[in-house]
Structure 1
Amino acid sequence: MVDVRSALSEHGIRLRDYKVGGHKTTCPNCSSSRRKKNDPCLSVTIDQDERSVWKCHHCSFSGAAGGEGFRPAVERRVYRKPARPARREQPDTMLAWFHKRGLTQETVQAFGVHKTRAWFPQTNQEEDCIAFPYEWDGELRNVKYRTANKYFRQEKDPEPVFFNADSIGAGEELIICEGEIDVMSFTQAGFPHVVSLPNGAPSGPETSDKRYEPFGTHWDLITKVSRVLIATDMDEAGEALAQEIARRVGRDRCYRVKMTAGSKDGNECLVAHGEEELRRCVDRATPWPIDGLYGVDDFSAEVMDLYHGRGPQPLSTGWSEMDRAFRYIPGQFIALTGVPNHGKSRWLSQVIVQTARLRDEKWAIFSPETGQANQIADLCEIWAGNPFYDGPSLRMSAQDVSNAMHWLQERVFLLGTIEHTPSIDWLLERARAAVIRHGVRNIVFDPYNEIEASRPDTLTETEFVSQLISKCKRFGKLHDCTVWMVIHPTKLKATDDGKDPVPNLYDLAGSAHWRNKADAGLVVYRDYAKEATYVIAKKIRRQPMCGMVGSVKFQFVGADRRFEEIPDSYQPLGKEGA
């Protein structure tokens, strides 16, 4: 029963046994936040073919897994390269079709666009169509097909590359638009460095990172272009695509190309107004708002989004009681502290697993004190709910470890080097690559004192810390990432009863700016006598939207290596249980 056990573990579901038939267990989606945490609200059925289906009768979490062919191990992706056609037909009818769209025969020939026949799932038969070859580095990587009725398809399992990828040049400007015909239009108007994504703009909320995989393929060159001019369509979907492109490549390098009134995209502008007007649209590209002086109108869309509840929403760490004290918004800077060995890093590791499981959030972690292998082991424990090492509780199996790492592989990325102590600039540059390549939304630096801290003689440590925080906050806002900084407190004097005191945010090593400039400040404190851990929100900048300052009580359960919050334990600041 290894396959069905592995399949269920992938979704956080654990059973007493894995026999054919019906089973009841707790729900990995909602049980941890319910008052009746041990209520077996999840029904699981296993059939003779080792296929499992499940449904929670409390939160409706449901799914299926396992069965013939199930393999939890990570497999390297294999891309299929299409064969080059023996000849590329460019009949007069096709050239006339492009001519109506303002594109010359020379442009069509330069891109190798041709007529062919291909099977389309929309009609379940072969259709006459236009083929757009995706060339890169001397090889054909993909072909996208389009019928006269605007049906689209691509080659099966293609390598994720941009259309016209060879045009990306280090030190050159790069236009990113929304379709092959737009790429051809900008090129004909005199802009040689222009690309588009094969899958266009999203029609609704994204459910995967697949659309943006070409950024990972070409990330090295993209980071070297002088600036990025975003020329996606002037509609809601095109704006959503523009926002995501800017987040990934860095808003500080982005400019928005807006088409002449009445034209949605580059090709419509070319047809309606000609090449000269399209060039003027590019020349008038405006910098993405970063800093400086703005008019109210620059933020009108953002303000209306806030009014209608479409703006950035506070995110849960995965504990319902903790939500009362603390939630976070992408782009914020979070300071986290606690006495050594009180569990601050472990608590944050559980946040990582819970948010990745809850919203598929992706994290990049710098944790040299813990060590990369130990960090992964900690995350595996939390994911599986079993100890990594031998102890009084049953430890994880080797298959559990493999399944956990398979799950973490797509969601957690590690920063660091053994060759030198990295500076904050070095780390943020790697974090930027993680954003571009993998869509990371959270960056963890644990702890601050492992970041290289050489500073000019003219700077005090307080000034140095202030500049470091400013760099982190600027990075977070540019890339829409939450930055989590773990800081050790200074040496604190024990209380009269011998206990460690609860650190204050002004007690953090290096500077009072940790308290002054953070968007939120959290303290993790363990009371050994009470066998309880308190997470105290000492500062919340956006109250009550992101919570109210106060403490929440947790119990660390050694059997499953996780923190469990105590229901109704939230206390306002000044009444902490610690």
Structure 2
Amino acid sequence: MKSFRDFGIDLPDRFHGDRKTTCPKCSESRRNKHEPCLSVNGDEGVWKCHHCGWTGTIHEGEHHEYRPQRKIYRRPAPETVRPDMVPEVRDYFHRRGISDATILKTGCYSTVRFLRATNCDTVVMAFPYYRNGELLNVKYRDARKNMTQEQDPEPCCWNIDHCVKAETVYITEGEFDAATLVECGFDAACSVDKGAPNVNDESADKKCECVMNCMDVFETAAEIVLVTDKDPNGLRLEKELIARIGAGKCFTCRYPADCKDINDVLVKHGREAVVRSVSEAEPVPVPGLHEFGEFRDRILKLYRYGTPRGQTTGWPELDAFFTLQPGSLNIITGIPMSGKSEFVHAMMVNAIRLNDWKIGIFSPEMLPEEELFANFAEKIIGKPFFGPEDSRIEPEELERALALADAAVKVILPEEDRTPTLKEILTAARVAVVRHGIKALVLDPYNEIESSRPAALTETEYISKVLSQLRQFARRYQLWVGVVAHPTKLQKDQRTGEYPVPTPYDISGSANWRNKADNCLSLWRSFRAKNNIVEVHIQKIKRKGIGKLGFQKFQWNRANGQYTPVPEDGPYTAEDCPPPRSYRDE
């Protein structure tokens, strides 16, 4: 089987999703050789160049023979530019705040041109476009913004020659805005040649082509200040420029409330207001890059009140080791028949009662729905759902349990005969957050979620991705997310006949079950003892305020699902129960 490299595409043989790179057919002949114009999909093995149109697949090869598509640009004759300006045009410049010195510095002049909008020869302002001293284009406009230009010009930014080797370059939306900056002492000011893209345009590539052709100037500059209009189209241009130049070196300006562009600022408020707006330009936020000052309030809160504790589990004895932390990913494992689901349900009922939580739950192993409710009802009332009439839940108690569960528990159900994907579950959970205000999400168990692992990912990489998604979801919505995951088959101790206490490392697939989790719990009970003592082992606590490593014993009443702490437990010792692997090393 062929690979992308067989077609000259510098990408790995296998990868997931879409990537962009340079095109082996046309990039070398372009002014900006490093612009990634080739879109490649690793899952489907297809590619397309958005510049020259070259397409193909690794299975079928090139779809068509590549033919370079080079546009022929025309250069105006140098004598097109004339150093004169009629009085009425000069007066218009002056009314816009542009002096004779700036007119001379930028090479503006006046002439007569036929304008399609006026259908006659018209006195116009002329803005010559130079690149490396060569005249590439001249744009013409009248006072009503009716415009024309030379035929087939090469896209270029106006006044770009004054920006070469400048530490700071200023990009505006129009020539008058760039001239305004020159008037106020910012000589390295240029303008895009076609104005701003419409806010609804599907692509802004044509409007930004002049920027890409001058990218060597912008790459050399240390800072790029974007001085665009503040209407929707101008903000679209600002966004597109940031995407092409990079947020790391871009700055944006603010104007007085009654001004939409920088020339407005000059006309209405004067030179000092322009200098202030430009000098106080703010760096564009870079995703993932922050300063501690942004977190001042949270820092002071931590200093004054210390690390916040999580919310109660409902059992003070367990709270000494583990509390419920909003915005955390919690992994719950345990040996078979240790009561993992029962324990999590009991803890969620406590959170509903004591913390006023609402919860979302995906628990297909406990379906049908009436049996899932029966499990919650036992924990709410403290009586068996079934059994002798004198000991089971009474009708009025059943109604009370139903009212509480209906208000506080939101059930996420799989479609009939189909295992749901994580994306589908999280979509339902997101609705539950917005619509019902849930504070916890329980996924029980993980293996009932459809695995959509791409062939290009290993199981370890896939589980890492899934757990990262869950952790991000927990933090974004400040949810306590609990995932019940079964361990792989454990070996009994030949001497005691007991299973060891499993750890997250024993869950099938990846060590990321521990590495990605905020907190890890493991349940264990003896199959040889004549009791239902369940030990809850706290094997990882990421934040000190949430708890500490250790374990707590509970008496599990299997008839009604109640958990009662067994008193006088001390710290973990090897004599108390079989040691979990890797536990002592942590």
Normalised TM-score (structure 1): 0.49
Q: Of the two structures, which has the highest relative contact order with CA contacts closer than 8 Å and spacing of 6 or more?
A: 1
Q: Of the two, which has the highest radius of gyration?
A: 2
